Amino acid sequence: MTDNRSEAAVVSQIEVDDVAYGYAPHKPVLENVSVKIPKGRFVGLLGPSGSGKSTLLKIIIGLHKPWKGTIKFLGNKNSDPYAYSSKNIGYVPQVESIDWNFPVTVKEVIGMGIWDRSGVAPWFSKDVDMMVGVILDDLGIYNSEFRNRQIRELSGGEQQRVFLARALIRKPTILVLDEPISGVDFNTREKIMEILRSLNQDLDMTILMTTHDLGGIGKRLPWVICMNKTIIAEGIPSTILTKDNLLRTYGLADYND
């Protein structure tokens, strides 16, 4: 599966221009990052841990303000970064960043995704319940009991799908995922990749995900961007994942499947 649309013909939906950012002064995590992501592309950000790929995601969705450089979105006239992202972007954070002992149910977590579209009442209404049901159906979870389960009872793959559901319930045009397939077993990984592929192909959703799983996932994505502090190479995996690029990205000469 390759992306055969020519570079010139498509408009970029996300345009990152010469961005630099760091968490401490004079210690940049990202430097000279420029990248254009066309509408409907399924992109994997590859790089070792500490390479700044999660940071780049967070800059794109507006969580960090870059030291310099700009982020532009197709058709966005609003200067407030959240105004665009809250309407158009679905975000799936790393599951490790969440306290899974928090006493909430699957329904409540997914309902958070439409906190601003579900009335003023402090509880989640019947409408939310219905919408949650629809989304879970789409993700292949037909068990009607599932939505009432406590999140701490979920397996890794289920946690991941609940987060995906919370993003999809907002009907985003761009889906941003931070390590969506870390810490899940082979079958779950394949299932999640299948869902992402169909979202991309059927709904023309632009997908941007980070992964450090080079062999299992990176090789099979339609488009990859190798980065380590800056963009090293981008393109289809077969031409990009060369010995030289990998050495520059990971500091290793080759990799095993």
The angle that helices 126-138 and 156-168 make with each other, rounded to 10 degrees, is 120
Of the pair 122, 251, the CB lying nearest another protein is at 122
Q: What is the DSSP code string of 22-86?
A: EEETTEEEEEEEEEEEETT-EEEEE--TTSSHHHHHHHHTTSS--SEEEEEETT---S-HHHHHH
Give the nearest distance from C-beta 231 to another protein in angstroms: 23
Q: Which residues of 49-72 are buried (b: 16+ CB within 10 A; e: fewer)?
A: eebbbbbbbbbbbbebebeebebe
Where on the chain is the footprint of another protein (CB under 8 A)?
A: 58, 61-63, 82-83, 85-87, 89, 91, 93, 97-99, 102-105, 108-109, 111-113, 115-116, 118, 120, 122-124, 150, 152-153, 155, 166, 170
| Least distance between another protein and beta carbon 98 (Å) | 6
CB half-sphere exposure, 39, CA atoms < 13 A: 12
Q: What is the CA radius of gyration of the chain?
A: 18
- Of 158 and 234, nearer to another protein (C-beta) is 158
Closest to another protein by CB, 3 vs 190, is 190
Residue closer to another protein, measured from CB, 156 or 235: 156
Shortest Cβ 146–another protein spacing (Å): 9
The least distance separating another protein from the CB of residue 159, rounded to whole angstroms, comes to 12
State the minimum distance, in angstroms, from the CB of residue 246 to another protein. Answer: 30
Map 143-163 to HEC letters: CCCHHHCEHHHCCHHHHHHHH
Q: In Å, what is the CA distance from 187 to each residue of 41, 105, 142, 217?
A: 24, 24, 18, 13
Nearer Cβ to another protein (44/111): 111
Q: Which is nearer to another protein, 87 or 248 (CB)?
A: 87
CB of 152 to another protein, least distance (A): 8
